[in-house]
């Protein structure tokens, strides 16, 4: 199975004071997304890249983290969508028994998505901690609700002390790693790729 290409980079990778600003790269999605999910993922990946490129002084740290998490969520959901709707095609690296079990599930909340990624070993190749990392990212993403606590021990309640350059860099890196892994291991057959525009994603130096 060929992998979805990660296209050559452009732009400048910045360090030091501009540590969360960075290079962006094109990335071809391997998924046949739910109606309009593909178009919206393209729109949001462009928005994420623009935010990273304009993130002087960390002023966009919070929306960058929220965007990075949301793109992981929609990408992961597509794996289950394919298992539920394309029973002739199947899904690479997912057994037919698991695909049939997934077919009858309702998997639409980020926490449930992550738990099912773990149950069906979708991201096991990324290391034992990947699912805990995603749950941690999910909890930060829940701060889209300003009144909510992050619900992670020892995380400050003041958002300007939560969405630091280091935390945002971690989220952007996790976004790149997860989507790259899905592209490499769960691509659709080459002859039915190309229905979704390439996603432009930030990859920080």
Residue among 5, 10, 140, 17 at smallest CA distance from 72 = 140
pLDDT (0 to 100) of residue 15 = 27
Strand-strand pairing, 24-27 and 6-10: antiparallel
Question: 62-94, pLDDT tens digit by residue?
Answer: 999 999 999 999 888 887 776 666 544 555 556
pTM value is: 0.74
Residue among 151, 149, 71, 143 at smallest CA distance from 113 = 71
Alpha helix stretches (DSSP H) within the chain: 37-53, 61-85, 96-103, 110-119, 130-141, 159-162, 165-185
Cβ pair 25, 201 in contact under 8 A: yes
pLDDT surpasses 90 at 25: no
pLDDT (0 to 100) of residue 64 = 95
pLDDT surpasses 60 at 18: no
Q: Where are the domains of the chain?
A: 6-202
pLDDT (0 to 100) of residue 97 = 65
Mean per-residue pLDDT, 156-180: 90
Which has more pLDDT, 134 or 160? Answer: 134
Q: Which residues of 142-161 are buried (b: 16+ CB within 10 A; e: fewer)?
A: bbeeeeeebeeeebeeeeee
């Amino acid at each position: 199975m060929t992998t979805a290409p990660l296209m050559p980079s452009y732009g400048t990778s910045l360090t030091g004071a501009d540590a969360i600003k960075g290079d962006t790269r094109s990335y071809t999605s391997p998924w046949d997304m739910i109606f309009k999910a593909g178009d919206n993922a393209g729109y949001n990946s462009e928005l994420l890249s623009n935010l990273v490129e304009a993130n002087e002084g960390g002023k966009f740290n919070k929306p960058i983290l929220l965007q990075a998490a949301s793109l992981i969520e929609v990408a992961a959901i597509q794996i289950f969508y394919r298992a539920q709707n394309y029973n002739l095609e199947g899904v690479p690296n997912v057994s037919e028994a698991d695909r049939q079990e997934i077919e009858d599930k309702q998997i639409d909340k980020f926490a449930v998505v992550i738990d099912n990624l773990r149950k069906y070993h979708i991201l096991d190749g990324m290391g034992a901690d990947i699912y805990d990392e995603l749950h941690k990212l999910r909890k930060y993403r829940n701060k889209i609700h300003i009144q909510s606590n992050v619900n992670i021990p020892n995380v400050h309640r003041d958002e300007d002390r939560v969405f630091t350059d280091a935390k945002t860099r971690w989220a952007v890196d996790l976004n790149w790693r997860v989507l790259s892994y899905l592209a490499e291991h769960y691509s659709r057959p080459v002859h039915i790729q190309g229905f979704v525009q390439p996603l432009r994603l930030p990859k920080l130096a």
